[in-house]
Structure 1
Amino acid sequence: MTASPLASADAPAAPLERFAAAIGLRNILTADADTAPYLVEWRGLYHGRTPAVLRPGSTAEVAAILAIANETLTPIVVQGGNTGLVGGQVPDESGREVVLSLARMDRVREVDAAGGTMTVEAGCILERIHAEADAVDRLFPLTLGAQGSCRIGGNLSTNAGGTAVLAYGNTRDLVLGLEVVLPTGEVWNGLRKLRKDNTGYDLKHLFIGAEGTLGVITAAVLKLLPKPVAREVAFIGVESPEAALDLFNRLRGAAGSSLTGFELIAHTAFDFALRHLAGARNPLSAPQPWYVLAEVSSGSRALDVRALFEEVLAAAFEDGVVTDAAIAESLAQGDAFWHLRHGLSEVQAHEGGSIKHDVSVPVASVPAFLARATAAVEALVPGCRPAAFGHMGDGNIHFNVSQPVGADKAAFIAGWDAMGTVVHGVVAELDGSISAEHGIGRLKRHLLPGVKAPLELDLMRRIKRAYDPNGILNPNRVL
């Protein structure tokens, strides 16, 4: 008998041959050049190995893969757009974990404008979902810097946040139903469009945010909302986070739920964008210690959004809360302001090593967190450059710290855990969270015992054992 082209020293031929029979040999990648893009996350912190990348094209094929994997005890790592930031989507270094890519499952199954829903497969790119919603004059509000490459299955599995959480909530708030393949290969069809359904446990919320450890999300019913008829975006200079918090409360008081964005940006992070982001320029007349990007939008023409903005900013100027501001004169200029914000993560790579922290604290504690965390990291690594930015309106700050100018990148990155200890210590003192929206993955798994009560961890493990008794799905992620 001729040896299978899928046989390798790292994995028995039999499971891979069975995978090939289930999805077709052409949909399995084994050559090093073909698998390489699936083996490293974009920051380069994790480099894995795999005997194969499986690319199913349907829910039935995913079910067949998991049934085989469960029977043969083959570990499976699920991957969407590979934009995750905690290492959960790439295989480990053992060479045993098989990658399950959902990239081919990218169909939009239905757009129901009248009912306000869209049913999509897990591999659908977020930006395409935006375009499909826009085509029927609707809005899907989940907005991320990686929306041109991230896929909705990954957004769901990590309960992604983004810049619109303030008004619309996290991803779990934008979902009505799911289709999920369990580790056993069983398919749960929960693709319901119901806004109200009190018939027992709401199972979809177990899978949203579970980071692929309980099942593989293959499709979802998403909520669509009416598009705003008025939208104003302002770029604002303030002296301090305290002033930004004051401005947030003024705008929230005046606009209520029409305040759809409120982002805080430190001058260091903004300077990086001006240096390295194509087309970037400062909308204000002079550099500022801190910047705020605020957006107010409304579905009613009765609300004069621009007049509201101008009134709040004028009063804030008079009271010394705001030092400079520019309200976008067009939709294109408003989009350019947001481009500055969404480019902040990528530009930091041009400044050398960057140690990143995705944390949240109560909104009122954001200024205290920034002051204390900045002092702590500067004491730990003199000359380091904190480049904080984030969603001040919901308390989520990306407290990223760039290496000192001229420092050795590898040596700086080697201090990741030590810096995390001091930053997370401040977070704990302020009753915050060590992971606001990126998840746990592999990067923060060791931190969970320090922030979760023993009973919480035990309950999580019980759920994992109930759904995945053989531990084949995303093993050693989260728990």
Structure 2
Amino acid sequence: MTNAATAEFLADLQDALPKGRFRAVKAGELDDPRGRHVGLAAVVATPHCVDEVSTIARLCHAAGVGIVPLGGGTGLVLGQVAHSGPAPVVISLERMTAIREVYPSENAMVVEAGAILHDVQAAAEAVDRLFPLSLASEGSCRIGGNLATNAGGLNVLRYGNTRDLCLGLEVVMADGTIWHGLKRLRKDNTGYDLKNLMIGSEGTLGIITAATLRLFARPSKTAAAVFVVEDPKSAIDLLAMAQATVGEGISAFELISGVGLDFLTETLPDLRQPFEVRPDWCVLIDLGVSAEAVPEEMLLALFEKALAAGLVSDGVISQSEAQRQEFWAVREHIPVGNRNIGSISSHDISIPVSRIPDFIPEGIAKLQALGDVRVNCFGHLGDGNLHYNVFPAKGLDRKDFDDIRAAVKKTVHDLTHAYEGSVSAEHGVGRLKVEDLERYQDPVKLAAMRAIKTALDPKGILNSGAVLRAAGAT
């Protein structure tokens, strides 16, 4: 488009919607959270309803203008950061925040895509239900973005990814038509599963505007514990013992490394940690049970059994909700400590659980052969999701390692692929991992994905360049 044509299109777009539906880009809102890229936008649209999203999409489709959907902007793989090519229309769902309906007896609720995750959790709690998706960014991320990326988080072990928490969707397609799929059914075998196709597609196949979400009974009692383990193998054996002993009451099972605790000591010294002497490895276990059970006693029994088996050497069990939150504060501040140190390269990977004990040290050895680095390996051990992040040695800066950053990423991803893992466990592909997808993904799956993209978005206007390389791009 020429400048004149762009100006004419934007004028027509604004004329088609009520006043107050467009704004300027806010400082930093389209920037890569890691500070490496800045996103583009011809204009930021702030529709108030699905029909207004439909109007925007219809006009963009007719003019061949790109669209980038924007949720809370917390994504880490440039899914919301179109940093090259023509400036797109950014559709922010910030005005579409309504909790439309809550059905406690059905364990379901209907929410708009711009609803903040914390507000969704609160709406569930108001009717004595639980929406279990839990992320460090839950105070700012939006449910539409969670669905678009199939977010994981802390409770996947018990409740599954966001895909498992969704019953139906309302979606605006590339040409502006609306798919009204907000069903509350657990069973609906009526052809292709369009819902699960949209979830995880990162805004490349349609714009999610509302969702029907699954709710659960709230655990009557909760408790948490931090147990010291010798190594990841002991942690995995402890997980198996915990599942056999406690069963489905385990909501989360998190692996924490001593490197991550060191980062907290270095950058957040006022944060209270569970142990005076920093362990090399520990696990955080969270338990939610019915009224009849006593979670602290269950965790104590697990500790004693694990101690006798040589799987743990020390541990702390929460004696109050405040202490449980202190344990979680340590886990949830690990990414903050990471940012304060400054990573050379960060990796969201998944590995078959039984192979994690071999993967972690092999990866560290390969990375330390590249340079003087530290590896902070932590994450959701119960579902095999590791955040395997590489940092400069103490006293050095990540800029000192710019020349090996690509080699670091390739080393981790090559090894992940060799271990039959995934180079994107829960963050998505975005624009950051398009080349990785091409390198490691099954070619038949890639071909099918491209065919689906062409069928649903023939002009390639929906979040172009995310997940799949844009047509004609190299």
TM-score range for the pair, normalised by the shorter chain length: over 0.9
1:8 deviates by 9.0
Asked if 1:245 corresponds to 2:239, the answer is no
Tell me the residue number matched to 2:471. none
**8 A contact 2:166–2:212 mirrored in 1:** yes
User: RMSD of the alignment, in Å?
Assistant: 1.7
Tell me the residue number matched to 1:367. 357
**8 A contact 1:10–1:96 mirrored in 2:** no
Output the TM-score relative to the length of structure 2: 0.95
Letter in 1 for 2:15: A
Residue in structure 2 matching 1:344, options 326, 329, 334: 334
Give matches, 1:165-314, under 5 Å.
165-277=156-268, 279-298=270-289, 300-314=290-304
Write the deviation string for residues 40-69 of structure 1: whole angstroms up to 9, x where unpaired. 022112212222111111101100000000
Tell me the residue number matched to 1:164. 155
Residue in structure 2 matching 1:66, options 36, 57, 64: 57
SS of 2:96's equivalent in the other structure is coil
**8 A contact 1:348–1:354 mirrored in 2:** no
1:91 deviates by 2.1
Tell me the residue number matched to 2:386. 397
Write the deviation string for residues 181-205 of structure 1: whole angstroms up to 9, x where unpaired. 0000000010001111112222100
Give matches, 1:122-141, under 5 Å.
122-141=113-132
Write the deviation string for residues 285-324 of structure 1: whole angstroms up to 9, x where unpaired. 42111110001212x2333322221111012122321111
Give matches, 1:38-49, under 5 Å.
38-49=29-40
Tell me the residue number matched to 1:4. none
**8 A contact 1:102–1:122 mirrored in 2:** yes
Stretch moving more, 323-332 or 86-95? 86-95
Write the deviation string for residues 237-270 of structure 1: whole angstroms up to 9, x where unpaired. 1121111111111101111211111000110112
Instruction: Measure, in 2, the Cα distance between the counterparts of 1:67 and 1:124.
Output: 24
**8 A contact 1:274–1:281 mirrored in 2:** no
Instruction: Measure, in 2, the Cα distance between the counterparts of 1:171 and 1:10.
Output: 43
Letter in 2 for 1:18: D
- Give structure 2 stretches of 5+ with no counterpart: 469-474
Residue in structure 2 matching 1:420, options 402, 409, 426: 409
SS of 2:315's equivalent in the other structure is strand
Write the deviation string for residues 375-434 of structure 1: whole angstroms up to 9, x where unpaired. 11111122x111111000000000011122333433424533211111112111211001
Instruction: Measure, in 2, the Cα distance between the counterparts of 1:13 and 1:205.
Output: 37
SS of 2:102's equivalent in the other structure is strand
Instruction: Measure, in 2, the Cα distance between the counterparts of 1:307 and 1:107.
Output: 41
Tell me the residue number matched to 1:453. 442
Tell me the residue number matched to 1:472. 461
**8 A contact 2:349–2:416 mirrored in 1:** yes
Asked if 1:86 corresponds to 2:86, the answer is no
SS of 1:130's equivalent in the other structure is helix
**8 A contact 1:106–1:124 mirrored in 2:** yes
Percent identity over paired residues: 42
Asked if 1:323 corresponds to 2:313, the answer is yes
**Count of matched residue pairs:** 468
Instruction: Measure, in 1, the Cα distance between the counterparts of 2:30 and 2:297.
Output: 51
Residue in structure 2 matching 1:29, options 8, 23, 31: 23
**8 A contact 1:11–1:96 mirrored in 2:** no
SS of 1:36's equivalent in the other structure is coil
Identify if the C-alpha distance between structure 1 residues 112 and 436 changes in structure 2 by more than 3 Å, giving closer, same or farther: same
SS of 2:16's equivalent in the other structure is helix
Identify if the C-alpha distance between structure 1 residues 326 and 130 changes in structure 2 by more than 3 Å, giving closer, same or farther: same
Tell me the residue number matched to 1:379. 369
Instruction: Measure, in 1, the Cα distance between the counterparts of 2:346 and 2:438.
Output: 20
**8 A contact 2:228–2:281 mirrored in 1:** yes
Instruction: Measure, in 2, the Cα distance between the counterparts of 1:116 and 1:238.
Output: 38
Instruction: Measure, in 2, the Cα distance between the counterparts of 1:168 and 1:430.
Output: 26
- Give structure 1 stretches of 5+ with no counterpart: 1-6
Identify if the C-alpha distance between structure 1 residues 278 and 130 changes in structure 2 by more than 3 Å, giving closer, same or farther: farther
Identify if the C-alpha distance between structure 1 residues 404 and 24 changes in structure 2 by more than 3 Å, giving closer, same or farther: farther
Instruction: Measure, in 2, the Cα distance between the counterparts of 1:150 and 1:348.
Output: 20
SS of 1:12's equivalent in the other structure is helix
**8 A contact 1:120–1:220 mirrored in 2:** yes
Tell me the residue number matched to 1:19. 13
Write the deviation string for residues 189-233 of structure 1: whole angstroms up to 9, x where unpaired. 100011111122221001000010000000000011000012110
Letter in 1 for 2:463: N
SS of 2:77's equivalent in the other structure is coil
SS of 2:20's equivalent in the other structure is helix
Write the deviation string for residues 46-95 of structure 1: whole angstroms up to 9, x where unpaired. 21222211111110110000000000000111110000010011222335
SS of 1:233's equivalent in the other structure is strand
Tell me the residue number matched to 1:3. none
Stretch moving more, 20-29 or 80-89? 20-29
SS of 2:110's equivalent in the other structure is strand
Stretch moving more, 357-366 or 45-54? 45-54
1:278 deviates by 7.5
